[in-house]
């Protein structure tokens, strides 16, 4: 089995923590519901990238970390939806 790097494990835990907080909004694995289109997820990813750029320009490290998690989560959701189509 592939051993993952500590930084990846730390980031993955942060991603999972944020997803669990958001489970109330869409339910567990809400991105897999039929009404949640890949197009919607891509639009949300774009919004999160814009938010990341805003906090980056304002030099807000804690906000940057939070936005990185959001960007990664939406990218993961898109990846997962594409992967489930196979």
Q: Identify whether 24 is part of a domain.
A: yes
Q: Identify whether 62 is part of a domain.
A: yes
Domain containing 69 equals 9-84
Q: Identify whether 55 is part of a domain.
A: yes
Q: Identify whether 2 is part of a domain.
A: no
Tokens coding 43:
């639009």
CA distances from 84 to 14, 34, 69, 77 (A): 23, 12, 22, 10
Give the pLDDT of residue 32.
79
Kindly state the average pLDDT of the residues 62-73: 96
Give the three-class secondary structure for 22: helix
Render pLDDT for 9-67 as a digit per residue (tens, 0 to 9). Answer: 999 999 999 999 888 766 667 787 777 889 999 999 999 999 999 999 999 999 999 99
Distance of alpha carbon 4 from alpha carbon 30, whole angstroms: 26
- H helix runs in 1-86, sequence order: 6-26, 38-57, 61-84
Residues 6 or more apart from 13 whose CB is under 8 A from it?
none
Q: Identify whether 79 is part of a domain.
A: yes
Number of structural domains (the chain) is 1
Give the pLDDT of residue 49.
97
The model carries a pTM of 0.88
Give the pLDDT of residue 86.
62
- Does position 77 have pLDDT exceeding 80, yes or no? yes
């Amino acid at each position: 089995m592939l051993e993952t790097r500590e930084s990846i494990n730390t980031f993955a835990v942060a991603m999972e923590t944020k997803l669990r907080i958001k489970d109330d909004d869409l339910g567990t694995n809400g991105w897999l519901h039929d009404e949640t289109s890949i197009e919607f997820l891509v639009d949300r990813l774009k919004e999160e990238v814009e938010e990341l750029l805003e906090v980056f320009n304002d030099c807000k490290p804690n906000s940057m970390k939070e936005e990185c998690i959001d960007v990664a989560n939406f990218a993961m959701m898109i990846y997962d939806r594409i992967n489930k189509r196979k």
